Amino acid sequence: MKKWQFWLGALISVLFIWLALGGLHLGEFWEAVKEANYIWLLPGIGVYFVGVWVRAWRWHYLLGPIKKIPTRIMFPITTIGYMGNNVYPARAGEVLRAVILKRREGMSVSASLATIIVERIFDGVVMLSFVFVNLPELAKLTSASGFVGNIQQVALIGTGVFIGALVVFLLAAMFPQKTATVGSWFIERLLPKRLHERITSLMNKFLNGLAFLRSPFNVLMVFFASVVIWLLETGKYWFVMHAFDFNATFFTLMLMNGIVNLATTIPSAPGYIGTFDAPGIAVLTAYGVEHSVAAGYTLVLHVALWLPITLLGAYYLAREGIHWSDEIRGELGESTDES
């Protein structure tokens, strides 16, 4: 609570909530929420968890060159990670699942984090592709919200960032020795001597985690799995839509999915409060959905995305015998030191 990152995230969330609520008639919003047919959440949640299983398979595939770990083992660890992202700031769940994997399978935290970072890069590329598929139609829309008006510029910048990061990781994977040599040069000149051995060891283990990128087939498989994951998540958007009184095309929901998930990379309070909601409402209203209905749908969708995975992840975390707060921070610190 005392860290400036937490308060910065909270401030950003407040700003986005203010943007989301601007001009909203709360009575109409509450009416839309009350009249929703919540039975449609059940197939939506089912489709979402199929996507989580594919995420676990993707992580199993990424780690394959280092160690073969069955997807059934990766699934609960994956849910723990997403639970951690939902309740801790700064996406601490990513480190948490690397820690759990080390406890369970002896996998280096540095190698695990390398694969997790690459996951996020592929996710970003797919999210941007969802946006680009709809850019021609989106460009014709007008909206009072700056979110929609600036999507083209944001998408172009984001594409450069994600593609650039992917190229860097591909080069590091294809030329590990040269990358290690360059990394060692910087370590020796920029860091205290007492840290050289430890940081070099972490760097080498991180590079080992990129081994799968040396195969073009593996890269295509991971990209294909990422597309499937996000199409399944869009399927949840589609099912939840049927609980409300509006119709949008699957492509519109793909666009919404891409934009809101890109927006959640902005620092915010845990659970992506505000950064998910404001751009989601903006996209739907730009497509002609009534403001109160768009807000009700986005709120319910956000809860449906947050609550089930958080509860299941908390259950699996409890089974690991790790308790909240100080013990989790201790596990993170110890495992990072020993990675």
The predicted pLDDT at position 13 comes to 83
pLDDT at 336 over 50: no
Which amino acid does the sequence have at 213? L
How far are the Cα atoms of 60, 62, 136, 192 from residue 78, in angstroms, in the given order? Answer: 10, 13, 36, 36
**Residues near 81 by beta carbon (within 8 Å), at least 6 away in sequence:** 93, 94, 96, 97, 100, 116, 313
Ranked by mean pLDDT, the top range of 9-18, 185-194, 212-221, 228-237 is 228-237
Unique residue bearing structure tokens 């009072």: 144
pLDDT tens by residue, 56-74: 999 999 999 889 999 999 9
The predicted pLDDT at position 327 comes to 53
Question: Whose CA is closest to 71, among 52, 55, 56, 50?
Answer: 56
Alpha carbon distance 309, 141 (integer Å): 34
pLDDT tens by residue, 106-145: 888 888 988 998 899 899 889 888 887 877 666 655 554 4
Alpha carbon distance 166, 206 (integer Å): 15
Question: Whose CA is closest to 274, among 250, 302, 254, 243?
Answer: 302
Q: Collapsing DSSP states into helix, strand and coil, what is residue 111?
A: helix
pLDDT tens by residue, 277-295: 988 998 898 888 999 999 9
Confidence of residue 209 (pLDDT cuts 50, 70, 90): confident
Alpha carbon distance 7, 268 (integer Å): 9
The predicted pLDDT at position 199 comes to 84
Q: Which residues of 6-16 are buried (b: 16+ CB within 10 A; e: fewer)?
A: beebbebbeeb
The predicted pLDDT at position 334 comes to 53
Do residues 111 and 99 lie in contact, with contact meaning Cβ atoms separated by under 8 Å?
no
Length of the chain: 339
| Neighbour count for residue 73 (Cβ, 10 Å) | 14
Do residues 228 and 220 lie in contact, with contact meaning Cβ atoms separated by under 8 Å?
no
pTM of the model: 0.86
Alpha carbon distance 73, 220 (integer Å): 24
